[in-house]
Amino acid sequence: MEPITTQPQRVTMQDIAESLGLSKATVCRALLQRARVAPATREKVEAAAKKLGYLPDPTLRALSKHRWAKHAAERSSYRIALVEINSHRTNLKGGTEDPSARGAFARAQELGLEMDSFAFEEYAKPSRLGDVLFHRGYDGILFNIRGPALDWKFPWEKFSCLSISFDHPSHRLHQVCSDWFNAVSVAVEDIRSRGYKRPGFLQFRRENPSIDLRTKAAILLWQEELSAGTSSVPRMFEYLPPPAGDEGGFYVQQRGRFAAWLEEEKPDVVIDGGYFGYWWMKDLGIRVPEDIGYLRLRHSVNAPPDFVNGVDHKLTEQGRWGVDLLFNMIQLNLRGISEQPIRITVKCEPFEGRTLRRLPQKR
């Protein structure tokens, strides 16, 4: 008979407490990054935990938190804050038109998590928002980035953090975001299936470098593919986002450039990386889709009209996946900025509207 082998005994918080002459409660608060623990004590506890080989048990941690929380029968084990950046205020408990937020709230409810939303711009300093969330007992933060955002200082080490929707290249967070390279491919395959031959691309420039570069790379590759064996395809139209306070003048100025581009390049369909192209064509008296087809690289309920053909980035699924991943991070006590951030992209699909038509096949 083979000898019975036993698993090594798991190092517990009690072992750490006894090695330091501290209470188990103090060790617990220090390892969970809670308030009311002196920084020196927290560093001493973390060093002892590393030396002894302590590993947290996420299952026991969740059970303990639920058991000892105030009003445990009324609240969930973990609390998540959805922080909206570059967005209109999202109503609490998911009353929002934004699909990312709606998916996140739905998934949080399915998992029994408590989730509330906060508007980033309502706080004078991001650090102030961080203090509010920390002292209210939030375990994780889901940053819903709705557009290009500047760098910001934040107490990352106090929370499990993850971003959804737009990615942010300056902060090393795990991300669930759109696959912009795939979005261009979905758009091109959609218009080709309808018989369009000369797509003209409208591309933002320097609005969000990470997204812009991936989108432009996909456009250039598809232009090369589409021009193989035929005459040249329309050159790309690039425009900047409107400057603050001068949207009207900018719109008219860019519309003139766009009209000249249409006249010179003669596309049979416009694939728009922004949101002006449709309105410019309507202002110029161009019938859509009778004269020129139109497709937007990102379908959005916040950028009317909502009947345009576009690319569905599955934002609801991004929100759901964001909550799933953040929940796992909280259970594993993974906090702060990651040394190896993971980016998960969700595959896009065509969104059917009324701004494309099926062209007759030439014989």
Torsion of CA 329, 334, 336, 340, to 10 degrees: -90
Torsion of CA 62, 66, 69, 72, to 10 degrees: 160
Q: What residue type is 264 in one-letter code? A: E
161 φ, ψ (degrees, to nearest 5): -130, 140
Helix (H, G, I), strand (E, B), or coil: what is residue 259?
Answer: helix
Cross-strand pairs, 341: none
Tell me the two tokens of residue 292.
Answer: 């020129």
Task: Give the least confident one: 128-132, 139-143, 236-240, 246-250.
Answer: 246-250
Q: Which has more pLDDT, 55 or 165?
A: 165
Tens of pLDDT, residue by residue over 87-120, are 544 444 444 568 999 999 999 999 889 999 999 8
CA distance 59 to 61: 5
From first CA to last CA, the distance across the chain in angstroms is 82
Listed in sequence order, the residues at least 6 apart from 189 whose beta carbon sits closer than 8 Å to its beta carbon are none
Mean pLDDT across the chain: 83
Percentage of the chain modeled with pLDDT above 90: 46
User: Which segments of 81-168 does DSSP mark as H helices, in order?
Assistant: 99-110, 126-135
Task: Give the least confident one: 63-72, 132-141, 200-209, 225-234.
Answer: 63-72
User: Which segments of the chain does DSSP mark as H helices, in order?
Assistant: 13-20, 24-31, 39-52, 58-68, 99-110, 126-135, 180-193, 209-227, 247-265, 277-283, 315-331
Q: How confident is the model at residue 33 (pLDDT cuts 50, 70, 90)?
A: low
Q: Is the pLDDT of residue 46 over 90?
A: no
Tens of pLDDT, residue by residue over 151-171, are 888 999 999 999 998 777 678
Establish how many alpha carbons lie within 13 A of residue 22's alpha carbon, considering only the half-sphere containing its beta carbon: 24
Q: What mean pLDDT comes out for the span 242-252?
A: 69
Domains, in order of start, for the chain: 13-55 (no CATH), 79-178+316-332 (3.40.50.2300), 180-312 (3.40.50.2300)
Q: How confident is the model at residue 72 (pLDDT cuts 50, 70, 90)?
A: very low
In the DSSP assignment, the letter for residue 288 is: T
